[in-house]
């Protein structure tokens, strides 16, 4: 069966009507106009497919759909989700560390933030620890900057520390132990 022999969805008069009214009307509106004018029951999907098949396009741009948007979005994407917290909000992680929101999508540990506000940026390969092991005590005298190497040595040696004084002693013992191992390795070379 030839293409021309097949029955067309629209007759010539209806095709002219579609071409005349395609500008400024969406498929749903165009289907309603055709149905009202010619007493048909055409759907917007049929109109869409017929327009694609026959290369009929609107010469004017319709408001919204794909106009200056990507992915066919006909709405403004909110800059932040409605459930997001404002900058300055706090949250507690599973480890029990309080974090503060400093920018959209950026959270940092509160004790690090407080220490940096008072002393400037944390030196490379250093960390901030709580001297009394209370992760909710953010006083500056309870926060101490030590090297990660010292913290690692202190944890490896399993120094017992129960309060501020014992923790200071554990830090000093770690510094001594690290210095001793450096001197020993220097003698071996």
pLDDT band at 1 (very low <50, low <70, confident <90, very high): very low
In this structure, how many other beta carbons lie within 10 angstroms of the beta carbon of residue 131? 19
Look up the pTM and report it. 0.53
List the domain boundaries for the chain.
10-54, 99-188
Tell me the per-residue pLDDT of 139-157, one tens digit each, with 9 for 90 and over. Answer: 999 999 999 998 888 888 8
On the 0-12 / 13-18 / 19+ scale of CB atoms within 10 A, 47 is buried
**Mean per-residue pLDDT, 120-137:** 90
């Amino acid at each position: 069966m030839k293409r021309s022999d097949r029955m067309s969805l629209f007759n010539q008069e209806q095709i002219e009507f579609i071409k005349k009214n395609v500008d400024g009307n969406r498929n749903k509106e165009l289907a309603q106009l055709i149905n009202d004018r010619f007493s048909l029951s055409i759907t917007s999907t049929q109109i869409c497919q017929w327009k694609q098949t026959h290369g009929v396009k609107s010469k004017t741009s319709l408001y919204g759909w794909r106009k200056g948007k990507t992915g066919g979005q006909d709405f403004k994407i909110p800059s932040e989700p409605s459930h997001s917290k404002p900058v300055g909000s706090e949250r507690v992680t599973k480890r029990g560390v309080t974090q503060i929101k400093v920018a959209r999508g950026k959270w940092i540990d509160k004790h690090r933030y407080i220490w940096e506000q008072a002393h400037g940026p944390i030196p490379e390969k250093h960390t901030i620890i709580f001297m009394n092991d209370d992760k909710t005590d953010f006083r500056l005298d309870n926060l101490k900057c030590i090297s990660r190497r010292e913290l690692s040595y202190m944890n490896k040696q399993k120094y017992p520390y129960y309060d501020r004084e014992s923790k200071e002693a554990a830090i000093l013992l770690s510094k001594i132990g690290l210095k001793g191992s450096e001197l020993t390795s220097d003698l071996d070379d």
